[in-house]
């Protein structure tokens, strides 16, 4: 059920982010909430972020649960799942193994709990900027990249509300991930029937200069 904060009459949306280790889940959150990007990988076990926003006229307290993707931390994930109203499942466009984990690990883990079978899910492709980096592409085996059409097919087949390509480095479509997640919760609880475009305005910038988005939303 959608939460409510009695002090300021704002809604509370609990969002859980999961995916294999090292695919950029924390950077996705930092890019959204703090306009930051960590160049060096720092493993996360469990972290909890709060963001006060106004979403299409709805004061909203967004609680974001950032969880380790390691098997030994499954009990922590189960605790976060019990709070979840929407789950964002991530994979890296540069690593097909992380894409396969969406079905083989993450959906199985989520759907093992009957209470989560009707929860909205958002599928997020991270590190899309690396697909345009020639040096990066040369260092990766061609077969290791994720085929976008396969990702679209998976999103449709498994009932994800959206598939969103993102770049946390440049901020491409990062805001859209959280807008779509919030919208899915509000819609699921019949609290809102408008468009998915929220009012938390953020620009995509590199070194202070505005950058054209190159991400896609499906």
* CATH number for position 93: 3.40.50.300
Does residue 218 fall inside a structural domain? no
Separation between Cα atoms, residue 37 and residue 24, nearest integer Å: 10
User: What pLDDT band is residue 144 in, cutting at 50, 70 and 90?
Assistant: confident
Higher pLDDT, 133 or 103: 103
* CA-CA-CA-CA torsion sign (102, 104, 105, 109): positive
Is there a domain that residue 216 lies in?
Answer: no
Number of domains in the chain: 1
- 43 inside domain: yes
Q: What share of the chain in percent tops pLDDT 90?
A: 51
Band of pLDDT at residue 208, cut at 50, 70 and 90? very low
Examine residue 215 and state whether it is found in any structural domain, yes or no. Answer: no
pLDDT band at 4 (very low <50, low <70, confident <90, very high): very low
Mean pLDDT confidence for 74-100: 94
Domain containing 137: what range? 3-210
Per-residue CA distances from 130 to 118, 176, 189, 212 (Å): 34, 19, 37, 16
pLDDT at 151 over 90: yes
- Predicted confidence (pLDDT) at residue 39 exceeds the cutoff of 70: no
Residue 217 lies in a domain: no
Residue 200 lies in a domain: yes
């Amino acid at each position: 059920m959608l939460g409510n904060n009695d002090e300021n009459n704002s809604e509370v949306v609990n969002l859980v982010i999961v995916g294999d280790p090292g695919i950029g889940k924390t950077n996705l959150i930092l890019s959204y909430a703090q306009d930051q990007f960590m160049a060096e990988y720092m493993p996360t076990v469990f972290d909890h972020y709060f963001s006060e926003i106004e979403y299409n006229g709805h004061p909203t307290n967004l609680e974001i649960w950032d969880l380790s993707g390691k098997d030994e931390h499954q009990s922590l994930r189960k605790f976060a799942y019990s709070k979840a109203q929407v789950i964002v499942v991530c994979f890296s466009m540069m690593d097909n193994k992380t894409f396969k984990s969406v079905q083989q690990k993450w959906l199985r883990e989520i759907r093992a709990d009957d209470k989560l079978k009707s929860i909205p899910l958002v599928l997020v492709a991270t590190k899309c900027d690396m697909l345009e980096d020639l040096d990066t592409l040369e260092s990766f085996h061609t077969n290791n990249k994720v085929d976008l059409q396969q990702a679209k097919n998976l999103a449709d087949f498994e009932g994800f509300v959206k598939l969103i390509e993102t770049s946390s480095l440049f901020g491409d479509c990062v805001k859209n991930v959280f807008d779509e997640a919030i919208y899915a919760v509000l819609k699921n609880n019949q609290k809102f029937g408008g468009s998915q475009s929220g009012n938390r305005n953020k620009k995509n910038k590199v070194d202070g200069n505005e950058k054209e988005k190159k991400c896609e939303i499906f």
